Amino acid sequence: MFNLKKSGVPAIFILLLFALTVGCGNKESAQPRQQTVTDGMGHQVNLPAKPKKIIASYLEDPLLALGIKPVAQWSVKGGNVQEYLRSQLEGIPAIPSNLPPETVLSFNPDLIILRPEAAAQESQYEQYAKIAPTFVLSKEDADDYKKTITKMAELLNKKEEAKKALDAYDRKAKESKDSLQKALGDKKVAVLWLTKKTFYVVNGNVSSGAVLYGDLGLNKPNLLNSLPESKANWVPVSLEKLAELDADYLFLVNYDKGQAGNLEEDLWRNIPAVKNGHVYEIASTSSWLYNGVIAAEKIVDDVMKALRP
């Protein structure tokens, strides 16, 4: 056995050296390691320990909330991006929303995270998997923005960041909910999206619907309960059907500038929100069509700006 007294080395030096060695060992063990996980399509995926180049198209919101910038960002129609994230993604090149494999390859990613609809075709998934480890979210995780960021945090070793982001949002939503309930009571709130002269009502469980009716506890108009069940985020509604809308407050996500004039037609005159001047137009650059913690925070801000007592 090693004898401190006979060694001639001060005991305190030996103890300090031992403490440093143990500390370094603990630090190394805390580092993220490569792991094998099962994705939403049943694939076994070998995740890299510290991915540096991530493509997560249409999932940039949770990535940014976790403190990560992707190597490329989702876009449609020749480069149009998610405007509400523009400042945070400044300088990040766009990639088409259909993710052409050759374009994905050009970014040389070391991890690809997909929503289920982006990997619906197995042949397409196989092409991505040859480029980099590819994880497909389950529909359950993809449809709930809180589950989305939680799952992505697990994959990226960012659980603390996810908890911090969700806790901060939940506090903000609760404060806003309490304030709105005192001010609005049992008043009903509706969200419509207008594009190409067609109206869509938001699904009450996703996007801005999840924020208004779930997080903020606002009351749904009867129209939402009378529509046929749909898996779509936004459900088309005829003008005749909208004439029955019993909303006291109406948010109009207006993608066709000037189209809000339709609200002056005879069909609209008896809608409580129109009659009482409680129609609020939301800019096309807003986050109301998207899912994510950042999007939800901005929606809460918009609602409070309009309805704050």
> What pLDDT shows up at residue 73?
97
- The strand order across the sheet containing 189-195 reads 234-237, 198-202, 189-195, 249-254, 279-282
**What's residue 205's pLDDT?**
78
Tokens at 286, concatenated: 């807003």
Give the mean pLDDT of 248-266.
77
DSSP track, 161-225: HHHHHHHHHHHHHHHHHHHHHHHHTT-BEEEEEEETTEEEEEPTTSHHHIIIIIIS-PBPPHHHH
Per-residue pLDDT of 41-56, as tens digits, reads 999 999 999 999 999 9
pLDDT top residue among 270 and 99: 99
Question: Model-level pTM?
Answer: 0.85
CATH of 35-157, one of 3.30.70.20, 3.40.50.720, 3.40.50.1980, 3.90.180.10: 3.40.50.1980
Mind listing the pLDDT tens digit for each residue in 184-233? 999 999 999 888 778 888 877 788 999 999 999 999 998 887 776 666 67
- Residue 159 CA, distance from chain mean position: 16
Report residue 4's pLDDT band, with 50, 70 and 90 as the boundaries.
Answer: very low
DSSP single-letter state for residue 111: E
Report whether pLDDT(255) > 80: no
The span from the CA of 299 to the CA of 234, in Å, is 16
> What is the CA 289 to chain-centroid distance, rounded?
10
Residue 53 CB burial class (10 angstroms; 0-12, 13-18, ≥19): middle
Q: What dihedral do alpha carbons 270, 260, 308, 226 form, nearest 10°?
A: 50
pLDDT tens-digit profile of 262-273? 666 777 778 899
188 phi and psi, to 5 degrees? -105, 145
For the segment(s) 174-307, the CATH number from 3.40.350.10, 3.30.360.10, 3.40.50.1980, 3.20.20.70 is: 3.40.50.1980
CB atoms within 10 A of CB 137: 24
Intervals of CATH 3.40.50.1980 along the chain:
35-157, 174-307
| pLDDT tens-digit series, residues 135-175 | 999 999 999 999 999 999 999 999 999 999 999 999 999 99
pLDDT score for 83: 95
